[in-house]
Every structure is written in structure tokens, then in C-alpha cells.
Amino acid sequence: MTHVSPARKQSEKALYGGTSSRRVTVRDIAAAKERGEKWPMLTAYDAMTASVFDQAGIPVLLVGDSMGNCHLGYESTVPVTMDEMALLSAAVVRGTRRALVVGDLPFGSYQEGPVQALRNATRLVKEAGVGAVKLEGGERSAHQIELLVQSGIPVMAHIGLTPQSVNAYGGYPVQGRGEEAAQQLLRDAKAVQDAGAFAVVLELVPAELAAEVTRSLHIPTVGIGAGPDCDGQVLVWTDMAGMTDGRVPRFVKSYARLREGLGDAARAFAEDVVGGAYPAEEHSFH
Ligand code: KIV
């Protein structure tokens, strides 16, 4: 059962807090934009965590290539493969009943062109069962988006900071600063909308620019480090729940201290084992 506080309840149709138990579709996302409704999105990389978020009512779960840093121990998203993405996307789909699951196309799986993008996106839809895919790039990825959409695969675009280009950026700098960069971001947003994307992630862009993009598009924007005026907001779940080791970006708000709690639990278990307190009589069979 999804628990939503009465104060947060919006309408029966609301993406978050609504009463429908069927799986969320891209039409529901479009309708939310028309209603001017804000909605949350989280990443997920396994069935168990996905089921927690699904039961909490999160309407869209992204199997992000952030699994590279957050789940698979890589230094960036760049090494993530299609096999890894297909495996973990299938797990997230199995762990959910309501959320729209979006599978990320990893670096190298769509840059060659529309046909490569279609082959790999089709794999995520058929093998893993995702309801949509995400890929990075604005104008530069428009042809890929067009073919996927024409082929019946909903696409979430991703512009602003595109982490798969970390080697080209030399880090993770804020995007869209200055008139020329802002104009490029607006062109990118328009290009992905015209190509048929059903939503667009805006990562690490000034809040005022994200607000302008959100006003100028009829598809929803999903912000991450893009201020309060986007239609949706996404966070990497390990950042949101305080599971990340070390520093998190300034735009992150952590809503729990899971890393600390899990470490405490592991230490308590270890001390019980070493001291002989576990297993006790009630944990034993005779
Ligand atoms: O891979 C990911 O988690 C993402 C989000 C940050 C949008 O692309």
C-alpha cells in the first residue's frame, strides 16, 4: 500500500499521491504537465530498493547509468555496459508494479547513430521490460530520439550536464552559464521536444534558465541541480538516502542516514557473534 500524507494528496490522477494502481505511462506524465503538477523521480538499480520506492509511490524510476559510480564501483558512468544495464533494468522492473521504469542507454550504445540506438533501446524494452529509455544529448541526439519514438519507444532526453562526457568536460561543471551557452541549452531542449521526447532531464543548469526552458516546452522537464521550477525532480537514490560514501553535490538533499544505520547494524551483528550473544535460544532449532 502506498502511504501518502493527506497534506500531500493532490488529485486522484496525481502521479504522486493519486489512487491509480496500474503502471504509470508516458501519457500520465504528459497529463501531469497539463495539470501543472510536480512529481518525483529516483534512480534504482535492484529489485529490492525499487520495490521500496514503488511502494512509497514514486511514479518514475530511472535505472540510471549512475549505477556505474553508485552500484558497480566504477569511477564514472562511462564504463557501464549494455549487459549491465539490461540485467539491472530487468531487476528493477521485477521489483515494481506501478512505477514507469526508464532504462538509461549507456555510453557507446547510441552515439554511432539511430540504428545502433534502436538496437540497444529495443533490447532494454524486450529483455528488461522497461517502459521508456533515456539518452544524453540535445541537438546531437535528435536523430536517435526520432527513430526510437517512430519505432514505438518512449524517450526521456537528458541535456545540460551530460555525465557520459566527463572526459570532455574534465569534471562536472555547471552548464548553460552565459548568453551563448543558455541559447544552446534552449535549442537543445527544443530539439529533443521536436524529435518526440516525452520528457527531458536538465542537469546542473542555473535555476533561472531551467525555469525558462520549463515554461517554453510542452513536455515536462526533470531537474537535478536545476532549481525548483522544473516539472519533476530526480535524485540518485544513494544520495537522497544518505548511502553515498563521502561528499555529495551541493544540490543534493539527503533524507536519511542509511550508510550510518547500516554500518551500525553490521557492527552490532559482528559484536553479538564475537561475544556469543547471537544466535540466542529463540534463533535456534532443537
Ligand atoms: O544516471 C543517472 O542517474 C542520471 C540522473 C542523474 C538523471 O542520469
Looking at the fold, whether 250 and 264 belong to one and the same domain comes out as: no
**Confidence check: pLDDT of 169 > 90:** yes
Establish whether residue 92 lines the binding site of ligand 1, counting it when its CB lies within 6 angstroms of any ligand atom.
Answer: no
What percent of the chain has pLDDT above 90? 95
Looking at the fold, whether 134 and 76 belong to one and the same domain comes out as: yes
Per the confidence metrics, is the pTM higher than 0.75? yes
Looking at the fold, whether 272 and 206 belong to one and the same domain comes out as: no
- Cβ neighbours around 140 below 10 Å, total: 13
Structural domain span for residue 267: 257-286
- Is there a contact between 230 and 184 (Cβ–Cβ < 8 Å)? no
235 C-alpha vs ligand 1 centroid, how far in Å? 8
Establish whether residue 65 lines the binding site of ligand 1, counting it when its CB lies within 6 angstroms of any ligand atom.
Answer: yes
Nearest CA to ligand 1 atom 6: 236
Q: Measured in whole angstroms, how far is the alpha carbon of residue 122 from the centre of its chain?
A: 19
For residue 152, what is its C-alpha cell? 514505438
**Confidence check: pLDDT of 4 > 80:** no
Looking at the fold, whether 159 and 231 belong to one and the same domain comes out as: yes
Backbone angles phi, psi at 13, to 5 degrees: -90, -5
Q: What is the mean pLDDT of residues 251-277?
A: 98
Q: What is the pLDDT of residue 7?
A: 46
Number of domains in the chain: 2
203: annotated active-site residue:
yes
Tell me whether residue 84 is in a domain: yes
Q: Which of 84, 146, 203, 212 is catalytic?
A: 203
Looking at the fold, whether 261 and 250 belong to one and the same domain comes out as: no
